[in-house]
Amino acid sequence: MIEPVLARVRDLTGETALLAKLADDKVVYLIVAESKQTIRFSHQPGGFKAVHATSSGKALLSVLSEDERQKWFKTYPGFASYTETTLTSQAAFDRDLQAGIQRGWQRSLGENVEDVMSISLGFKAYEQPFAIVVAGPLGRMQKNEATTGQQLKEVKALLYAALPSANLTFVGEDSR
């Protein structure tokens, strides 16, 4: 169902596309459509990352209500630093999350792995938060950020077609 959507995202952007979900206090990558480029972001399905240091984590939390987010953070183990650009406080995370909501997509600029950037679109399917993620080398991704963000927003139509009974919702939109 969702694999063709990820393949389309990978082909549109030229970068690795992933499907992410919350797993307690971490992000888990469920499906990976790896870029065909020689230099690329690579990850295995089932791999975990920190919520606060990834665009996927931000996208997943962006689809929760403010109350749900605050409740979730009460059990979060902390804002460990992975790189010089990791957001290490809830206040910094919240500011970045709100900027992403306004922009229409979330991003991570080397916050988990140096020289890797990712852009993510959060959504709910079957009442559960998910994120489509595009990840690649920082320099290449930064040059294409606006285009990639717009492409992710356009992927909504593909998701509606692939998951017609999933009661999909996106930030700022009602379910269909």
DSSP 107-172: EEESSSSTTEEEEEEEEEETTEEEEEEEEEEHHHHHHTHHHHHHHHHHTHHHHHHH-TTS--EETT
Residue 37 has a pLDDT of 96
**Does residue 130 lie within any of the structural domains?**
yes
Three-class DSSP category at 57 = helix
Q: Return the CATH number at 70.
A: 3.30.450.40
**Does residue 34 lie within any of the structural domains?**
yes
Residue 66 has a pLDDT of 92
Q: How much is the average pLDDT of 7-13?
A: 97
Question: With 90 as the cut, is the pLDDT of residue 176 above it?
Answer: no
> Where residue 174 falls among pLDDT bands split at 50, 70, 90?
low
Residue whose token pair is 């020289």: 115
Question: With 80 as the cut, is the pLDDT of residue 51 above it?
Answer: yes
What percent of the chain lies above the pLDDT cut of 70? 98
Query: Residue 106 pairs with which residues in a beta bridge?
Result: 120
**Does residue 176 lie within any of the structural domains?**
no
Full residue range of the structural domain in which residue 13 is found: 2-170
**Does residue 65 lie within any of the structural domains?**
yes
> What average pLDDT does the structure give for the chain?
95
**Does residue 81 lie within any of the structural domains?**
yes
Residue 173 has a pLDDT of 73
Question: With 80 as the cut, is the pLDDT of residue 117 above it?
Answer: yes
Q: How much is the average pLDDT of 84-111?
A: 96
Question: With 90 as the cut, is the pLDDT of residue 97 above it?
Answer: yes
> Where residue 133 falls among pLDDT bands split at 50, 70, 90?
very high
Residue 175 has a pLDDT of 58
Q: How much is the average pLDDT of 38-54?
A: 96
**Does residue 46 lie within any of the structural domains?**
yes
How many separate domains does the chain show?
A: 1
**Does residue 92 lie within any of the structural domains?**
yes
pTM above 0.75, yes or no: yes
**Does residue 175 lie within any of the structural domains?**
no
